Amino acid sequence: KWDGLKGYITNTDLDTERVINQYHGLWVVERAFRISKGTLEMRPMFHFTERRIEAHICICFIAYKVYKELERLIAINKIGMSVDHVLDIAKTITTIRIRMPENGTFFTKTLFLTDKHRTIMSLFDLSKDQF
């Protein structure tokens, strides 16, 4: 029986062990693409200058890095929510900016109205006094 066996054909001079190890790590790259296309909703953009192409790649990388940092903070703080759930909740957090008529200065207030909002706030070590 051949059930459960895999074969690898390569065009590289890498040793067998290294090829197999690289293949086993492939899921990390595949997951990154799923996150990029799914949660982050990245789509191909048609840029025609090298500078714009590099900028687009940089923005995509930064978005993915922010996602992974949020995932890390969720794991460290053990809040029991997925990144997608935290992002959905974060979309409901409101910040208001008011211009004071007396002197023209601005007052900004972020409203953490629910327990879930406050849980997200705790991920970033923010105090209520700051907002």
Structure confidence by residue, pLDDT tens digits, 29-61: 888 888 888 877 777 778 788 898 888 888 888
The C-alpha atoms of residue 117 and residue 79 are separated, in whole angstroms, by 12
Place of tokens 């794991």: 75
Q: Is residue 41 part of a domain?
A: yes
- What lies within 8 Å, CB to CB, of 88 at 6+ separation is none
Q: Is residue 96 part of a domain?
A: yes
Q: Is residue 79 part of a domain?
A: yes
**Angle CA 108–106–100, to nearest 5:** 115
- Give the range of the structural domain holding residue 65, as residue numbers without chain letter: 16-130
Q: How sure is the predictor about 23, in pLDDT bands with cuts at 50, 70 and 90? A: confident
Whether this prediction's pTM lies above 0.75 is answered by no
* The predicted structure's pLDDT at residue 75: 93
Crossing angle of the two packed helices 83-90 and 50-77, in degrees rounded to 10: 100
Q: Is residue 7 part of a domain?
A: no
Domains contained in the chain, number: 1
**3 state DSSP class of 81:** coil
Q: Is residue 5 part of a domain?
A: no
- What lies within 8 Å, CB to CB, of 3 at 6+ separation is none
Question: Over 90: is that where the pLDDT of 89 sits?
Answer: yes
